[in-house]
Every structure is written in structure tokens, then in C-alpha cells.
């Protein structure tokens, strides 16, 4: 490999990393309006999200859960979290198996690769 090719591939790697990071930076700032991510962080409009992956839905000491999330019963994993950040209003129905289930969290429209980036980030919070 000559130097130009090495430089070009290094640049590609850098750019890819950059895109992945910025894709989440936008998404994260949106969540931050209502959530904190650090251990012991306080609840805001929504519950603190430290350690949320692998935990039972609605299981923090946040006082303002809606009925459906509070009744929970599912454990947050990559798949259901992706569905949640894309469309929580739809996901709550699928997760509870109740067509009338509601959540207080609005649809975030973070779907596809944005959802992947958010889930990857949430998985680091432990
Ligand atoms: C406008 C405020 C708001 C924004 C923005 C928001 N959320 Fe929420 N979130 C809430 C509220 C309120 C709840 C509780 C919903 C309920 O009880 O029905 C919640 C609940 C959650 C839960 C369930 C936690 C648990 O304890 O089971 C997760 C996970 C979550 N949000 C992730 C996110 C992520 C990731 C983002 C960014 C893409 C985000 N939220 C953006 C308000 C928000």
C-alpha cells in the first residue's frame, strides 16, 4: 500500500467515526431535554436512564410513570429500545399487547441508524 492509500483509508475511518458520533450527538441532545444519563442523575420530565438497558421497564423510583410503563413487565433490550426511540406511542401498544396503551413520552422519530446509535450509547451506561 502506498502512503496516499493509507492516508485515504485513515481519513475514511475518521470520517465514519465522526458521522457515527454526530448522528448520536443530535439524538442525545433531544433526549437530554427530559432525561439524565449519569449514575444517580435526577429525574426530569422523564426518568434517569443510567443502567436502563437490561432493566425492567418502569422500575426506577420516578414518580410520574404512566400506567402502562409502570405496569411494565418487559425488560429493555436492543430490539424493543429501538422501537421505543423510533415511535414510543406505537411501541407501548406492542410491548403491552394492549391497543389502548399510552405513554407520556412523545414519539422521538429516532429510527434506523439513529436508533442503533442511541441504543449503542445506552448500552454504555452501566
Ligand atoms: C419531552 C420529554 C422526553 C423526551 C425528549 C424523551 N423522553 Fe424518554 N421519557 C419521557 C417520559 C415522560 C417518560 C415516562 C413515560 C411514561 O411513563 O409513559 C419517558 C420514558 C423513557 C424510557 C423508559 C424508562 C424506564 O424506566 O423504563 C426510556 C428508555 C426513554 N424514555 C428513552 C428516551 C430516549 C433514548 C430519548 C431520546 C431519543 C427520550 N427518551 C426522549 C420523556 C421524554
What is the structure's pLDDT at 65?
98
Q: Determine whether the shortest distance from the Cβ of 27 to ligand 1 is under 6 A.
A: yes
Q: Judge contact between 7 and 14, C-beta under 8 A.
A: no
- Rounded to the nearest integer, the mean pLDDT of the chain is 87
Residue 96 near residue 68 (C-beta atoms within 8 A): yes
Better-scored residue on pLDDT, 86 or 8: 86
What's the 19 CA to ligand 1 centre distance in angstroms?
Answer: 24
Residue 71 in this model has a pLDDT that exceeds 60? yes
Q: Is the pLDDT of residue 13 over 80?
A: no
pLDDT of 44 reads: 97
Give the residue among 56, 45, 51 at the shortest CA–CA distance from 108.
45
CB of 66 closer than 6 angstroms to any ligand 1 atom: yes
- 73: phi > 0 → left, psi -120 to 50 → alpha, else beta; which? left
Question: What pLDDT was estimated at residue 124?
Answer: 93
Pairwise CA distance, residues 101 & 81, whole Å: 17
Is the pLDDT assigned to residue 16 strictly greater than 70?
no
**Is the CB of residue 35 below 6 angstroms from any atom belonging to ligand 1?**
yes
Amino acid at each position: 500500500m502506498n502512503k496516499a492509500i493509507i492516508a485515504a483509508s485513515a481519513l475514511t475511518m475518521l470520517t465514519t467515526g465522526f458521522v457515527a458520533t454526530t448522528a448520536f450527538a443530535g439524538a442525545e441532545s433531544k433526549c437530554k431535554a427530559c432525561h439524565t444519563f449519569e449514575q444517580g442523575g435526577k429525574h426530569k420530565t422523564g426518568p434517569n436512564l443510567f443502567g436502563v438497558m437490561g432493566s425492567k421497564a418502569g422500575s426506577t423510583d420516578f414518580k410520574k410513570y404512566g400506567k402502562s410503563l409502570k405496569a411494565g413487565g418487559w425488560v429493555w433490550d436492543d430490539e424493543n429500545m429501538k422501537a421505543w426511540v423510533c415511535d414510543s406511542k406505537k411501541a407501548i401498544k406492542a410491548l403491552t399487547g394492549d391497543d389502548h396503551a399510552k405513554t407520556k413520552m412523545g414519539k422521538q422519530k429516532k429510527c434506523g441508524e439513529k436508533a442503533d446509535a442511541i441504543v449503542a450509547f445506552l448500552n454504555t451506561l452501566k
